[in-house]
Amino acid sequence: MRPSLFSAAVVPIVHLAASAQAQSSSSATATSTYLPPPAASGTVASAASASPNPQWSQLLGNSLYFYDVQRAGKLPDNFRVSWRNNSVLNDGKDVGLDLSGGFFDAGNFIKATFPLCWTITQLSWAAMMFGGGYDAANQTSYLDETLRVGLDWLLEASSQQDSLVVLIGNEGVYWGGDQDIPTDRPSYKITRQNPGTDVFGSCASALTSASMLYAGTALPLGPNSNGTAASLRNTTYSRLLLNRGQSLFNLAQTATPQQVYQAAVPQVKWAYPSTDYADELVLSATFLAMATGNKSYIDYAQTTYTASHFPFSNGALNWDQHTPAAPVLLAQASLMDAGLDLNTTKYQSDAEYWLDLILNGQMSQTFSTSGGLFWFKGDSDSASLNPSLNAASLAVTYHGMASSTQKGQGYLDWALSQQDYALGKNPMNAVYSVGLHPNSAQNPQSALASGGTDAANIDSSPPTERWVLYGGLVGGPDKQDNYYDQRSDYEQTEVAIDSNPPLMTLIAYHIQNGDADPFYVSLTQPRVILPYPSSGGGGGLSGGAKAGIAIAVILVVIIIVGLLGWWQRERLRTFWRRKRLGLKA
Ligand SMILES: *[C@@H]1O[C@H](CO)[C@@H](O)[C@H](O)[C@H]1NC(C)=O
Ligand SMILES: *[C@@H]1O[C@H](CO)[C@@H](O)[C@H](O)[C@H]1NC(C)=O
Ligand SMILES: *[C@@H]1O[C@H](CO)[C@@H](O)[C@H](O)[C@H]1NC(C)=O
Ligand SMILES: *[C@@H]1O[C@H](CO)[C@@H](O)[C@H](O)[C@H]1NC(C)=O
Ligand SMILES: *[C@@H]1O[C@H](CO)[C@@H](O)[C@H](O)[C@H]1NC(C)=O
Ligand SMILES: *[C@@H]1O[C@H](CO)[C@@H](O)[C@H](O)[C@H]1NC(C)=O
């Protein structure tokens, strides 16, 4: 579930991070610039003795490279993405801030705080467990850069007393490069008087988890094993992040009414509307308890957890919904700090409740595709790999904390099955990370990479993407496991900053463990190329027929909205957006 395409945008001023290549950390020096190798290298088997595994290391490197592609604002000298330019230098000026930096959210040019916060949280959390993987692959300096671009932007976005910018840009139709981005880019913010409990909380989680990472915190992987933190150390930065995390949490906790942020800023509704805020409250309070040892945070986390009837039996984990992550983080907090006086057994059992429903095929609204992709109805209809990989990332995070070794192994095996699916073990023989392997997806929806400027013909203009979007993870196949590699089909092909982190958890895990090559290296069958089905199922429908279908679709969608609940709202929004863009309904 994500918003689509195109947004308006443009211009202003200085950039926060002095130099992207600047190292904040002691041991994280990149000896040379990492550039993604050609896709053919994805077929080269690694020597069994090679350590760290070159293929996993390359995948981690590519996955981080994607964040450089997505950068906004003034770019550092000698920037490694040679085809990117400075852009949107005036972002934030309308509210007196310099928000020129940060990341473009997805295939379009908006900047969205809510998914950015989950991105940073996931990256930081995993880097406190599997950070040895980043170090071994020499990617820690790029992790640092990526985190700082996001964190510095969040610090600026929250630098005015009691307020946080939650979105820049609007739903305009712009398809083109980084030089002509429309300049109409309003900044929307939430404040103490007009709060968004969810985004305050999510931002608090991002800053606090990153603060722990920059303090060198390693998290337990289980009762008898500790993870490794990536070697980022900067006490000053860590304190700064923690202080702001505390302020934002205070806003989430005390600003009234507690509400979802689109209630405060209806203008964000089309982009990343939020379902709830209790999950963000629980996670942020738990991270703060872990960072400070202050019991008042954990009391608040537990009270909110209980009052909100966690654990929920159903539901995906993603940029919006973090409920399934809550018991996992609480279980980890209990192992990390006995002083927090948490009941490990309770949180294990809650975490396993959700995971077991998935493994046993008992979660409602879910199924496994015939090719083996875990599917959450509604959520998986757009960016299908995202709910699957988020669940996989959580399963890997949790498996060492499980109530039995056997259960833990089951979670791990399941997680690896989803990871393998994304990396080529699927009916399409498709590798869903761009530029990694000859079977990689070729047409990610990315206005930056495509090189096209014709919004009405983004599939054919140009026929081949101008630049290879190395490391971008596309949305994923449909529920028949079909992937059409069609740029205009954003549900399948769009890239986004929150798409990579769950896969990166698994990658870092493998590198840290010294595991052998990923699945795609042994993939010799060619990718299955499917003709794109026309919108009516047949060819050449008249405009009238298309309009009729469109009306029917609207009616059906409205009925579904009524019947099936909140998540279907996305489809309606999508419909209108696509209609406006002249894309298929
Ligand atoms: C630590 O972070 C601060 C804040 O970003 C920065 O000014 C400083 O240069 C960093 N220190 C080192 C040693 O990298
Ligand atoms: C990482 O850097 C070290 C020091 O330059 C080098 O010996 C090693 O081969 C590099 N490893 C990878 C995976 O690039
Ligand atoms: C960056 O600028 C160059 C030179 O003007 C241009 O050719 C290129 O398309 C721009 N890149 C993007 C992503 O728009
Ligand atoms: C894990 O780390 C904690 C805190 O640093 C330490 O007390 C504990 O002994 C470690 N456990 C293992 C199994 O190494
Ligand atoms: C713990 O955090 C609360 C805010 O949630 C604060 O009022 C209190 O002073 C903190 N206690 C300590 C010991 O820092
Ligand atoms: C901890 O939680 C478990 C499972 O919910 C429960 O059976 C047990 O009584 C709890 N222990 C304490 C000390 O509350």
At 141, which helix (H) or strand (E)? helix 140-157
- Note the pLDDT of residue 536: 41
Which residues line ligand 3 at a C-beta cut-off of 6 Å? 83-85, 177-179, 448
Query: What is the tens place of the pLDDT at every residue in 244-271?
Result: 999 999 999 999 999 999 999 999 999 9
Give CA–CA dist 124/48, Å, rounded.
Answer: 30
Beta bridge partners of 368: 374
Q: Is the pLDDT of residue 27 over 70?
A: no
Q: Is the pLDDT of residue 582 over 70?
A: no
Predicted model pTM: 0.90
Give CA–CA dist 454/372, Å, rounded.
Answer: 37
Q: At what angle do helices 344-359 and 385-398 cross, to 10 degrees?
A: 140
First vs last Cα of the chain: how many Å apart?
16
Stretch 438-446: mean pLDDT, rounded?
98
- Note the pLDDT of residue 562: 46
For residue 529, the one-letter residue type is I
Judge if the beta carbon of residue 345 lies within 6 A of ligand 6. Answer: yes
Give CA–CA dist 226/54, Å, rounded.
Answer: 25
Return the residue matching tokens 């609007």: 170
Compute the chain's Rg from CA coordinates: 22
Return the residue matching tokens 């209609």: 579
Query: What is the tens place of the pLDDT at every residue in 330-364?
Result: 999 999 999 999 999 999 999 999 999 999 999 99
Which residues line ligand 2 at a C-beta cut-off of 6 Å? 31, 52, 57, 137-138
How do strand 163-168 and strand 366-368 relate by DSSP bridges?
A: unpaired
- Note the pLDDT of residue 19: 29
Q: Is the pLDDT of residue 304 over 70?
A: yes
Q: Chain-wide mean pLDDT for the chain?
A: 89
Give CA–CA dist 414/412, Å, rounded.
Answer: 5
- The Cα diameter of the chain in Å comes to 69
Q: How far is the CA of 336 from the centre of ligand 4 (A)?
A: 8
Q: How far is the CA of 40 from the centre of ligand 6 (A)?
A: 54
Q: How far is the CA of 235 from the centre of ligand 1 (A)?
A: 8
Task: Please report which confidence band the pLDDT of residue 573 belongs to, taking 50, 70 and 90 as the band edges.
Answer: very low
Query: Which ligand lies nearest to the CA atom of residue 449 in the structure?
Result: 3
Task: Please report which confidence band the pLDDT of residue 173 belongs to, taking 50, 70 and 90 as the band edges.
Answer: confident
Task: Please report which confidence band the pLDDT of residue 552 belongs to, taking 50, 70 and 90 as the band edges.
Answer: low
Is the distance from CB of 253 to CB of 300 less than 8 angstroms? yes
- Note the pLDDT of residue 8: 27
Mutation to probe ligand 6, out of 340, 345, 352 (largest number of atoms < 8 A from CB): 345
Give CA–CA dist 212/442, Å, rounded.
Answer: 38
- Which DSSP category does 318 fall into? S
Q: What single string gives the DSSP state of each residue in 383-395? A: STHHHHHHHHHHH
Q: Which two tokens stand for residue 147?
A: 């985190």
Query: What is the tens place of the pLDDT at every residue in 4-25?
Result: 443 322 222 222 222 233 333 3
Judge if the beta carbon of residue 179 lies within 6 A of ligand 1. Answer: no
Give CA–CA dist 194/577, Å, rounded.
Answer: 27
Q: Is the pLDDT of residue 117 over 70?
A: yes
Task: Please report which confidence band the pLDDT of residue 48 belongs to, taking 50, 70 and 90 as the band edges.
Answer: very high
Domain spanning 19-40+53-449+458-522: which CATH class is it, in words?
A: mainly alpha
Query: What is the tens place of the pLDDT at every residue in 478-524?
Result: 999 999 999 999 999 999 999 999 999 999 999 999 999 999 999 99
CB atoms within 10 A of CB 125: 28
The domain segmentation of the chain, as residue ranges, is 19-40+53-449+458-522, 549-585
Ligand 3 atom nearest to CA at 178: 14
Task: Please report which confidence band the pLDDT of residue 576 belongs to, taking 50, 70 and 90 as the band edges.
Answer: very low
- Note the pLDDT of residue 314: 82
Residues ≥6 apart with Cβ < 8 Å to 330: 282, 286, 301, 302, 305, 342, 347, 350
Stretch 138-143: mean pLDDT, rounded?
98
CA distances from 46 to 50, 246, 347, 521 (A): 7, 45, 40, 9
Residues ≥6 apart with Cβ < 8 Å to 49: none
Q: How far is the CA of 226 from the centre of ligand 4 (A)?
A: 6
Q: Is the pLDDT of residue 122 over 80?
A: yes
Task: Please report which confidence band the pLDDT of residue 310 belongs to, taking 50, 70 and 90 as the band edges.
Answer: confident
CB-hemisphere CA count at 13 Å for 252?
32
Judge if the beta carbon of residue 306 lies within 6 A of ligand 6. Answer: no
Which residues line ligand 4 at a C-beta cut-off of 6 Å? 224-226
Task: Please report which confidence band the pLDDT of residue 580 belongs to, taking 50, 70 and 90 as the band edges.
Answer: very low
- Note the pLDDT of residue 172: 81
Smallest CA-to-CA distance from 385 within 360, 357, 362, 418 is with 418
SS (H, E, C) 183-248: CCCCEEEEECCCCCHHHHHHHHHHHHHHHHHHCCCCCEEECCEECECCCCCCHHHHHHHHHHHHHH
Query: What is the tens place of the pLDDT at every residue in 376-394?
Result: 999 999 999 999 999 999 9
Task: Please report which confidence band the pLDDT of residue 313 belongs to, taking 50, 70 and 90 as the band edges.
Answer: confident
